[in-house]
A and B are shown apart, each in its own frame.
Chain A
Amino acid sequence: MSDHYQVPETPAQESLSFELNGETVTRTAASAETLLDILRESGEITSARAGCRVGRCGACQVLLDGRAVPSCLVMAWQLPGHHVETVEGLGKDPDFLSVRDALASESALQCGYCTPGFAVSLVAGLRQHRQGSPVDLAESVAGNLCRCTGYGGLRRAIDQLSASCCPDEADGRGPSLSEEPL
């Protein structure tokens, strides 16, 4: 490490407004600050969690204009004019309630740290279905990682949701080579 190391200047902070769970909020942030940090800094949002910060694990998944995205890959400058939703704001959303009940009744979680991220991805899948797009709900959680469950409960929950919302479009199991399933 050099003795002449120059401390980088603190990037300029700017004021920005966006919609968060239905309300307009104003935050001060550097333009390259991530949505994940902006959400967590306020202390009000804890459901978006930093699992990898490279967009792989889905623990920080939020809805951006209704689409599920990892909030660690969204930057402050991209936010003005857009609507961010987290599970804190989805408490009365019928799609979220179906997802919550399916996850709970199938015991589809253990430590639960990744679960809000999975819920957000599934809500996005259900919404896409309501808008008339064919949807494979299992495909919607391809960007989420869970280390505890072995995904068995999640599979049952996705089967339950698929059966109630989109029985013709997907069986929720994904491709299987098993001709004689267990």
Chain B
Amino acid sequence: MTHDKPLGGTENLVTLDGDSIRKATSGMDLAQRIEGRLAYATDQRHISGLLYGAILRSSFAHALITRVDVSRALEMPGVHSVIKAEDVPGLNRFGIVIRDQPVFCDERVRYEGDSIAAVAADTPEQARAALDVIKVDYQPLPVVSDAALAEQQTALHGPHEEHGGSNLLARETLERGDIDDAFSRCAVVVEHHYQTPRQMHAFMETEGGVAIPDDKGGVLFRVGCQSGHRDAEQLADILGVDHEQVTVESTATGGAFGGKDELTVQPAAGLLALKTGRPVMIHLDRFESCRTGMKRHPVSVKMTTGCDADGRLLAHKVEAMLDTGAYASLGPAVLENYLDHATAPLYKIEAYRVSGRLVYTNNGVCGAFRGFGGNQATFAVESQLDALASKLDMKPTTFRRINLRSPGDAGSRNQTVRWTAPPANVLAAAVASPLWSLHGAETGRWLTGTGMAMGAQGNGLGDGLPDSGGGRISLSPAGRICVEFGFTDYGQNIVESITRSVCNEVGCLESDVEVVLGSSRGPDSGPTSASRSSVLVHGVLASVLPGWMDVVRGHAARLSGMAEEGLRLGPGGVFCNGQQVLSYRELAEDGNLEGMAANASQDFPVAPDSEHPVGRYLQLQIATVARVAVDRLTGRVRVTDLHHVTAAGRVIYPPGYLGQIEGAAVMGQGMALTEDMATRDGRYLADNLDQYLIPTFHDAPIQRVDVLDDTPEDDPFPIRGVGELGIEAVAPAITAAIEMATGVRVRRLPVDPGDLLVAMAAQEKTP
């Protein structure tokens, strides 16, 4: 098979290589992280009077609880307090979308990570020893372990509960055109089942942090999280205190990826802190994190897709089943995003019916995870396109080129869309990848192959969800330009991006800027999720900075006696004709800091049409080319190279952009090849990182990221968030490459080496 020649239109393509990274890297806080000087949420052991908490988890995946006896635990050495459901003064429930998860279960446990009681003691060992003597009587219930059967089985949530009475938590259908008519006109139709795994976030810092009580009945939380304001609201309701009595302060967080979006240890730590009047730290170990923590929704889907004899897509039908586990968390929003991506946003399809069901089971809890359902859908959609191309004996790249949308087209749901480059140009750059030159080669025991896939992703929370964010800018008493946002920093280079944006607008030095993040007392920027922070940061700064600079120049004019018109802000202070008139410090020392502060808030940009879905207005694209080597003896797959072409607006901070794409891609590789928290009868089969294998340095491929920036000069949203884009197209690119190497198309992830070998052997026997 030969491949297309470059299709042109790639002059705005820039490779983010080592040189561009070294030039741009800001040493800002890297050294303190390398030297171990930065304290993470679970490093805060210097707090005076600190107690350690531990949480009792369920012994069953599904059972009624008839008795919880904590009397012996209270007598154990070092124990200060033992609490259970009846000790929750406020609402014994939490959840971002639907509050259906108990802080402590009182009647029923629904997964093996459910909490029943918690202990605070002088040492972690004493706390854990006390858990061992809490007596719980259970009456086991039938375990709902298969999503496909869940709707016919015992309902996990009773009829009196919101969304209870049935294990069907949500269902939704997106439709366009007359699908029956469209299928009747297809020359080729392919139908396949796809399965994606229950991936674990596996952030290196497991869930944890400290709750510190004040002397007025309130609590300060310093816990790894993704949304200080939203957490503070839920925690106040649980603790039964006024909202202003709860403060959530952001700390350095050792990774999140969506897995810290929901409350984790905060409720138990806060309740114990109030009960004992002492600060309480809870830090889950990896075993407990695996057992209790959030996972990616496993999806089982049947897709039927057809096109005419020229390869034009006509009809597309999707029936998906998502297992959300015991509680809703963000499941309904994940379903919605899955379905959006299952409509194949990059391609024109005459008619589709895309439907999905979200069910409760006793298999852990699933929620937010980088990609948010989108990458699961893209895996299946892109595989369908390859299957149709193969039936027509057409190159997969040609097939895509025929069907890609043009920038002027409406989106897949008829909404207005802002692309930052024509999709055909992204494809053309991927077709020109050097990785194609060695396709289908054989080297001893290794079979090598190259494959590609594309993906689109919208920024923002999506349809119908309140989505706004605010920020504040001021001059600090020390004379630094202080920028505050409510976002949290868990390694996504947000501090560097904000600093770079301020420097670009103001013309100041990096050292002039101080970024303050993530306090629930500061501006509410909404959650740090959905690739939304960069867009909001840019929007807020663009709206607030010009006015703020005018105010500062006004102050400088009064102080210096010079005309305001001649003054401008620059490195270190205010300038006139290239000469510094006042430093920022001198301006600050004059006082009137309140007069030099400004707030701004903005709604997340949505499509300006009222009849259509409002989300997915700001669209990003990626094409990923993968080269793999398959071991003929073991069936193991090695990804040797990944080449990404991204069209995601302007690059503000190159190391951050590159790191997000590369990091997400390797996470997607893990999902494709090794990662699955498999369950049996509602129990996880793996409990630590020696069984659940995430990619190591030696598994990671050589990667190249080319940025295609055709963003129009006058685009009001030139900055887009790239935190999730890199994971979008990796898995289908890898399975396409495996197909080129072996002839076998894998539709169930992670790729099972044994199954792959069997399929390869079966194929050799077939003439």
How far is A112 from B40 in the complex, measured between Cα atoms in Å? 10
How far is A12 from B46 in the complex, measured between Cα atoms in Å? 26
- Cβ-defined partner of A150 (8 Å) among B203, B286, B437, B665: B665
How far is A90 from B77 in the complex, measured between Cα atoms in Å? 39
Q: Once the chains bind, are B490 and A111 in contact (CB under 8 Å)? A: yes
How far is A157 from B532 in the complex, measured between Cα atoms in Å? 30
* Contact of A83 with B by CB under 8 A: no
**Which A85-110 residues have C-beta < 8 A from chain B?**
86-88, 91, 99-100, 103-107, 109-110
Given A1-B59, A87-B35, A112-B33: A150 and B688 within 8 A (CB)? no
Least distance between A44 CB and chain B CB atoms (Å): 9
- Chain A residue nearest to B627 (CB atoms) is A178
Given A46-B39, A106-B18: A145 and B696 within 8 A (CB)? yes
Where chain A touches its partner, the secondary structure class is: loop
Q: Once the chains bind, are B666 and A150 in contact (CB under 8 Å)? A: yes
How far is A148 from B689 in the complex, measured between Cα atoms in Å? 15
Task: Report chain B residues within 8 Å CB of A59.
Answer: 204
Q: Once the chains bind, are B690 and A177 in contact (CB under 8 Å)? A: no
- Cβ-defined partner of B697 (8 Å) among A3, A49, A144: A144
Q: Once the chains bind, are B702 and A142 in contact (CB under 8 Å)? A: no
How far is A149 from B133 in the complex, measured between Cα atoms in Å? 42
**Which B52-91 residues have C-beta < 8 A from chain A?**
59, 76-77
How far is A49 from B690 in the complex, measured between Cα atoms in Å? 17
- Cβ-defined partner of A147 (8 Å) among B42, B76, B255: B255
* Contact of A153 with B by CB under 8 A: yes
Task: Report chain A residues within 8 Å CB of B21.
Answer: 106-107, 153, 156
- Cβ-defined partner of A52 (8 Å) among B283, B627, B689: B689
**Which B621-635 residues have C-beta < 8 A from chain A?**
627, 629
- Cβ-defined partner of A116 (8 Å) among B36, B492, B658, B662: B36
* Contact of B520 with A by CB under 8 A: no
* Contact of B527 with A by CB under 8 A: no
Interface window among B168-176, B226-234, B637-645: B637-645
How far is A103 from B31 in the complex, measured between Cα atoms in Å? 9
* Contact of B45 with A by CB under 8 A: yes
How far is A180 from B702 in the complex, measured between Cα atoms in Å? 11
Most B Cβ at <10 Å: residue of A56, A86, A149, A152: A152
Given A40-B45, A147-B203: A177 and B34 within 8 A (CB)? no
- Chain A residue nearest to B661 (CB atoms) is A150
Q: Count residues on chain B whose CB falls below 8 Å from chain A CBs.
A: 81
How far is A1 from B135 in the complex, measured between Cα atoms in Å? 7
- Chain B residue nearest to A111 (CB atoms) is B491
How far is A13 from B283 in the complex, measured between Cα atoms in Å? 24
Q: Once the chains bind, are A152 and B659 in contact (CB under 8 Å)? A: yes
Task: Report chain B residues within 8 Å CB of A178.
Answer: 438, 627, 640-641, 702
- Cβ-defined partner of A182 (8 Å) among B435, B659, B665: B435
Least distance between A11 CB and chain B CB atoms (Å): 10
Interface window among B22-30, B148-156, B498-506: B22-30
Given A46-B36, A59-B204, A177-B640: A182 and B43 within 8 A (CB)? no
Q: Once the chains bind, are A110 and B438 in contact (CB under 8 Å)? A: no
* Contact of A57 with B by CB under 8 A: yes
Task: Report chain B residues within 8 Å CB of A155.
Answer: 697, 700, 702
Task: Report chain A residues within 8 Å CB of B629.
Answer: 177
Q: Once the chains bind, are A150 and B33 in contact (CB under 8 Å)? A: no
Q: Once the chains bind, are B30 and A152 in contact (CB under 8 Å)? A: no
Q: Once the chains bind, are A174 and B698 in contact (CB under 8 Å)? A: yes
Interface string of B424-446 (1 = CB under 8 A from A): 00000000001101100001001
Task: Report chain A residues within 8 Å CB of B662.
Answer: 149-153
How far is A143 from B59 in the complex, measured between Cα atoms in Å? 33
Most B Cβ at <10 Å: residue of A55, A105, A151: A151
**Which A108-142 residues have C-beta < 8 A from chain B?**
109-116, 119, 138, 141-142
Task: Report chain B residues within 8 Å CB of A180.
Answer: 434, 437-438
* Contact of A25 with B by CB under 8 A: no
Given A53-B286, A109-B34, A116-B34: A147 and B204 within 8 A (CB)? yes
Task: Report chain B residues within 8 Å CB of A50.
Answer: 206, 283, 285-286
Q: Which 9 A-B pairs have the closest CB atoms?
A: A47-B36, A111-B491, A113-B254, A112-B33, A150-B662, A107-B655, A110-B491, A150-B666, A151-B700
A–B Cβ pairs within 8 angstroms, 17 of them: A7-B129, A7-B132, A50-B206, A53-B286, A53-B688, A57-B689, A59-B204, A103-B34, A104-B27, A107-B659, A109-B30, A111-B254, A112-B33, A141-B697, A148-B659, A150-B665, A177-B446
